[in-house]
Chain A
Amino acid sequence: MTPAIETQRNPVSAFLGGAVIGTLGGLIGLGGAEFRLPLLIGMFRFPALEAVILNKTMSLIVVATALLFRSRAVPFADVAANWPIIVNLLAGSLIGAWMGAAWATRLKSETLYRVIATMLVLIAIILILGHDATVG
């Protein structure tokens, strides 16, 4: 590890980076992971797979707390009342999560960068489409 990378990964920039990402994530109800991942790669210079794994670990912590904070704006009762939707989506997502993780660990680093970039674009498109749908 070079000295340059050491300074780039100092706790202050890690905290600030996390704070900005968390704010974005908290606003929209995401863990902020999709913003954190490119930051881990671009700014903190982690290799693709390591960035993905670090990102995952942080997301776990962040999502758990985000759910708590959002309970002010959206009460737990409202979330719990919609349990059939939650179960419905979980059925597919749990299987997908396992397969996706298995696939990522086998990919070449270069390929993984491309996959990540492509998916970020897809996410952006989906956000815009979702927005149009809600506005009407």
Chain B
Amino acid sequence: MASLLGVAGGELLIPTLVLLFGADIKLAGSLSLAVSLPTMLVGFTRYTRDQSFIVVGRNKIFLLVMAAGSIGGTFIGGQLLGLVPAGTLLPLLAVILLALAYKVWQHK
């Protein structure tokens, strides 16, 4: 399911870890990454077989620059991890996601 979106599935893994395994939200975040990485490699491998995969080669610079930006951001996010309470974080992200979902649905 997560692979369909090209996402890691972390958004599903974190609640699973918290609810089913009783993990602390911050530990759950790291655990979900540890599960995501191999999972994404598998989905990625499947996509390399598809014709649309040439998009990766065609947008190599775009891809690397955006990934670099993401990594920089991840670093900032990681630094803020001790500062921002998880309680305010999740509802905020949920609202952002709803707005984005609306935009994608409208897309023609």
Where the two chains meet, the residues of A that have a C-beta atom closer than 8 Å to any C-beta of B are 9, 11, 14-39, 41-42, 44, 46-47, 49-67, 69-74, 78-79, 82, 85-86, 89-90, 93-94, 96-105, 113-121, 123-131, 133-135
Query: What is the predominant secondary structure among interface residues of chain B facing chain A?
Result: helix
Cα–Cα distance between A33 and B42 once the two chains are bound (Å): 16
Where the two chains meet, the residues of B that have a C-beta atom closer than 8 Å to any C-beta of A are 1-19, 21, 23, 25-47, 49-50, 52-53, 55-56, 59, 61-63, 65-82, 84, 86-87, 89-91, 93-98, 100-105, 107
Query: What is the predominant secondary structure among interface residues of chain A facing chain B?
Result: helix
Measured CB to CB, the nearest residue on chain B to A65 is B71
Q: Is the CB of B47 within 8 A of A29?
A: no
A18 and B65 contact, Cβ closer than 8 Å, known pairs A37-B5, A42-B107, A52-B5: yes
User: What is the CB-to-nearest-CB distance from B58 to chain A, in angstroms, rounded to a whole number?
Assistant: 9
Which residues on B sit within 8 Å (CB–CB) of A26? 73-78, 80-81
Q: Is the CB of B29 within 8 A of A28?
A: yes
Q: Is the CB of A31 within 8 A of B8?
A: yes
